[in-house]
Amino acid sequence: MIKEFKFSFEALNILPEDLTALLGFEEGIIPEPFPEIIEHALAEAAGFCNIRGGYKIFNPIEINQNEATIKIENLIFSPSKIVTTQLKDAYSAALFVCTAGEEISNHANKVMADDPMLSYVFDIIGSVLVEKAMDKMQEQLYANLQKKGLTISDRYSPGYCGWSVAEQQYLFSLIPENFCRISLSDSSLMHPIKSVSGIIGIGKNLVQKGYQCHWCSDKNCIYGNIKRKKQSLSKQ
């Protein structure tokens, strides 16, 4: 089964506080001059969005915890023990993609020379849009499956939790070409830039636990670094 979505900027309800962590600020604190810049950017952002997403459900899949692999059709993914442990009870999976569109990144690049801070805020808005859209997609997937007595896992993406970004090549080979207007380069970079891809497990005993960053040792993950910073501050 294939499902596609298109979201309006307004439907995602992006608030200034949604940008705080990615901007590097402490929760609830947005120093000057950023409140005005954020307000301006959010007022304009709707005109630079083309938010799309979708997923394709595969049934059955095979999880091999000993090898830390997932077999989908004739392809073997190796997403790491972190992912396969959380998907161990899955017998189906949704492979997903989602994008904010290329327009918001193009606009961020356009204003860079004249206003670097505004450009940076637009770039962050693009990242938040993708995550918010994925939240919506995941909620709808769960609601539909719940009617059948099924649950879902959290979502996992190549490039995180020790999963090689190169395996996006496998993932994209299993979904329609240019699905949701997202393409993949030979070096496994998605276009538009503000895009995500990954897997959500489907089964009867799966649990959504949220980002468990203490499981992961990836020091380059921005989300993990933000969470570790908050934990460190809470202990002070």
At 14, which CATH number?
Answer: 3.40.109.40
- pLDDT score, position 222: 52
Residue 220 lies in a domain: no
51 is written with which tokens? 């938010």
Residue 104 lies in a domain: yes
pTM, entire model: 0.89
Residue 205 lies in a domain: yes
Q: Give the residue ranges of DSSP H helices in the chain.
A: 9-12, 16-23, 34-45, 81-86, 103-111, 116-146, 168-173, 222-235
Q: What is the pLDDT of residues 193-213, one digit of tens each?
A: 999 999 999 999 898 887 655
Give the chain's domain count.
1
Residues facing 7 on adjacent strands: 51
Residue 217 lies in a domain: no
Q: What is the pLDDT of residues 121-145, one digit of tens each?
A: 999 999 999 999 999 999 999 999 9
Residue 230 lies in a domain: no
Determine phi and psi for 160, rounding to 5 degrees.
-125, 160
Helix (H) or strand (E) holding 182: none
Domain assignment of residue 186, given as a range: 2-211
d(CA 63, CA 92): 10
Residue 228 lies in a domain: no
d(CA 168, CA 196): 10
Residue 156 lies in a domain: yes
Residue 138 lies in a domain: yes
State the number of CA atoms in the 13 A half-sphere of 184 facing the CB: 22
Q: In what order do the strands lie in the sheet with 51-58?
A: 2-7, 51-58, 92-99, 195-203, 151-156
Q: What is the pLDDT of residues 20-79, one digit of tens each?
A: 989 988 888 899 999 999 999 999 999 999 999 999 999 999 999 999 999 999 999 999
